[in-house]
Amino acid sequence: MARDESSLTVPLVVEEKQRLGHKLEDVETTYSDSTAGTTSSFKTVFHGLNALSGVGILSIPYALSSGGWLSLILLFVISIAAFYSGLLIQRCMDVDSNIRTYPDIGERAFGRKGRLLVSVVMYAELYLVAAGFLILEGDNLQSLFPNMGIEVAGV
């Protein structure tokens, strides 16, 4: 089977005998300022919403096909729970106008320890998500550049 050189599976960095430089020389990029400033507010909002919801929306069909009917039921249950949580947060903010953050809600409900617990959980979640993205990016870079290696402090 012949190798499709336009495929996404072709590594970006290849061995000397497999150079793709001749293809890169054929490509010319041009930039035109004629389209600068021609977007509307509606288009800007639309593209912003697409960027925020794109990956999640696109992954739902695969997740449902992998998980079956139970995953569809769980999707609706979790959606209802998230909606109800939003209503409870709104009620908390309506009761006290000084409540502006999740730690404020934790302090109002459980005192100083509640504020500390909510803050720790929030910051741990942010840290772990960032670490997860770094791991995923490392896996992607390893797939794109299979012949490259990085050594840090001799490791």
Domain boundaries, the chain: 41-95, 100-144
Give the pLDDT band of residue 132 (cuts 50, 70, 90): very high
List, as one string, the DSSP characters of the chain.
----TTSTTS-SS--GGG--HHHHHH------GGGTT---HHHHHHHHHHHHHHHHHHHHHHHHHHH-HHHHHHHHHHHHHHHHHHHHHHHHHHH-TT--SHHHHHHHHHHHHHHHHHHHHHHHHHHHHHHHHHHHHHHHHHHH-TT----STT-
Per residue in 49-76, pLDDT (tens digit) is: 887 777 777 888 888 999 999 999 999 9
Indicate whether 33 pLDDT > 70. no
Per-residue confidence (pLDDT) for residue 150, from 0 to 100: 75
Q: Tell me the whole-structure pTM to 2 decimals.
A: 0.53
